[in-house]
A and B are shown apart, each in its own frame.
Chain A
Amino acid sequence: MALTLSTLAIGKFDLIDSIGGGPLVAFLLITIFIKSAMISEYFMGLKVVRWRWRMIPLIYLIIVCGLIWIAYNRA
């Protein structure tokens, strides 16, 4: 739970980003992944569930974030 609060702080930082640039976007995507993964692992309680169910949101997040990254670099 304490970790969640620290990602909240990062969410705040997102505000000032407008200088742009790949590394910052990569950083944002990673925070998306961490935040969302924490939601699914801890909040949704999938951490204690069988892999089959647990993996679905994680794989989903990897695919979505990965493709957003590809799309970003394509531009």
Chain B
Amino acid sequence: MSETNLTQNQNREEYPPGDLVIWIFIYAELLVFGVLFLAYAFSRSNNLELFNESQKLVNQEAGALNTLILITSSYFVVRAVAAIREGRAEQCGHWLLATMITGSGFIVVKLYEFSEKFGAGISLSTNTFFTYYLSMTAFHFMHVVLGLIILAAVWFKNRRGGYSQEDHMGVETGASYWHMVDLVWIILFPLVYVIR
């Protein structure tokens, strides 16, 4: 029918990598986090002193470390996808494993942070800043856990030879979700830990 249209789009993929459904999910999740970010930003502007005071208590080093960990982890999963696109399932498995190990590193650091806060007697009810800080990081934490579960499922299927050069949608789907988790953290960290 429209020959020109076809040629125009030849070098563009019709849809993003992975299952389209995960993208709808990713966009919905971004929206959830977006609302949280903005609610934080505007609440902050209404309680500036309280936020600045409380922010001194958060562990910036741990947050920065976790940023590095997540970006590295995200990079590993890029390598995993690249490997399976070339049909090298074994390498893909190694990279996925590396992704999960770094992801678990994030969990460990985060749990340390949480225990530090709870140990200091800080809870959701301490003040508005900590309501935001704890609910946003905890919500993100749950996404990291879910991301790891998805990656583990992908890893198992890959180990059983479930993916190939032609059929690797599952790997791309899991990877896309993992990138979303990373992306959200990249906004969350400077916003909640640093900007004052």
Contacts and interface: CB of A to CB of B under 8 A. Distances in A.
Nearest to B12: A50
B179 A14 contact: no
A72 B179 contact: no
Interface residues of B, number: 47
What size tier do the contact residues of chain A reach? 35 or more
A72 B41 contact: yes
A3 interface: no
A28 B191 CA distance: 9
A4 B23 CA distance: 23
B124 interface: no
Given A1-B75, A14-B190, A39-B182, A64 B16 contact: no
A39 B175 CA distance: 11
Majority DSSP secondary structure for residues of B touching A? helix
Interface in A37-67: 39-40, 42-46, 48-51, 53, 56-57, 60-61, 63-65, 67
Nearest to A50: B12
B61 A15 contact: yes
Given A14-B64, A15-B64, A64-B34, A72 B195 contact: yes
A60 B38 CA distance: 12
A20 B13 contact: no
Given A12-B64, A48-B13, A53-B16, A35 B186 contact: yes
Contact of A68 (B9, B37, B46, B172): B37
Contacts of B196: 18, 20
A36 B187 CA distance: 8
Interface of B: 9, 11-17, 23, 27, 30-31, 34, 37-38, 41-42, 44-46, 48, 60-61, 64, 67-68, 71, 74-75, 77-78, 81, 172, 175-176, 179-180, 182-183, 186-187, 189-191, 194-196
Interface of A: 1, 4, 8, 11-12, 14-15, 17-18, 20, 25, 28-29, 31-32, 35-36, 39-40, 42-46, 48-51, 53, 56-57, 60-61, 63-65, 67-68, 71-72, 74-75
